[in-house]
Amino acid sequence: MDIGVCLPTTVPGARGRQLIEFARRAEALGFHSLTVVDRMVYDNYDSIVSLAAAAGVTERIKLVTAILLAAYRPSPVELAKQLASLDRISEGRLVVGVSSGARADDYEATGTEYGNRGRRLDETMEQLRAVWRGDGPAPGVGPRPTNGDIPFWVGGQSPAALRRAAEYGIGWISPGGPPHKYPDLVTKVKELWAAKGREGTPRMGANCYVSLGENGRQVADEHMRSYYAYMGDLVQHLAKGAITDENVLRDVVDGYAANGCDELLLLPCSADPENLDRIAAVVFG
């Protein structure tokens, strides 16, 4: 199983130099991918801009939007150009993970409709691919992706999200949860994949928050209560799910690997690049 790590773009107050060092260090430590999560109405860095900065200081590591809320972006043509540019800058290292999201204010802020976000996401993915082929509403928009196309990786737990993963994506990304519940979702995605007549097998991913170190629990609680404040009382449950113990992290990694996960995406709760050393010592040790 591959291990990816998320840039701390959603940690309020994270400095640009910390993000750059995070990217450099993630590649040097051997992580398979560098990911970003997406929000509009929050004190976070833009996902595409952040990965472009990371692309400039790395050479090997995959760059993954996990997840990009593509449907709240008003112009699929402009988004296609941005993503293709990032793909070219990184020489084909980009994977576009997408989901419809669950925050109405992100959509309101960009003047897009929240209620039809699932249908809009399907249409956006189709339009992105059309632009990358050289078609779209205004043929000739460039640049073309390095390999002619950019793979989609789809997240979300709704039936529509699982269907979307089987129809459009290279596979599916779980937003989180205990490893022992993962196999049922793996089976479901594989069944949908086969029903769509897809060849091969879907790539299965999962997200997991990690906060190691002396004050790991406090850092995790503060970060997740801020980021997920819109969820009300449920935020307490989510915060408890963050891994703050090295032995628990090792068990979770082993559990996901044993239950059909191809890549586990770890989300640090702090912008301190030294956290990567702690994580790497556990997952690669």
pLDDT digits (tens, 9 = 90+) for 235-248: 888 889 999 999 99
pTM over 0.75: yes
User: Is it the case that residue 233 has pLDDT exceeding 90?
Assistant: no
User: Is it the case that residue 19 has pLDDT exceeding 90?
Assistant: yes
What CATH number does the domain containing 34 carry? 3.20.20.30
Q: Considering its fold, how many domains does the chain have in total? A: 1
Across 131-156, average pLDDT:
95
pLDDT category of residue 270 using cuts at 50, 70 and 90: very high
How confident is the model at residue 255, as a pLDDT?
A: 96
Domain interval for residue 255: 2-283
C-alpha closest to that of 276 among 15, 85, 21: 21
pLDDT category of residue 26 using cuts at 50, 70 and 90: very high
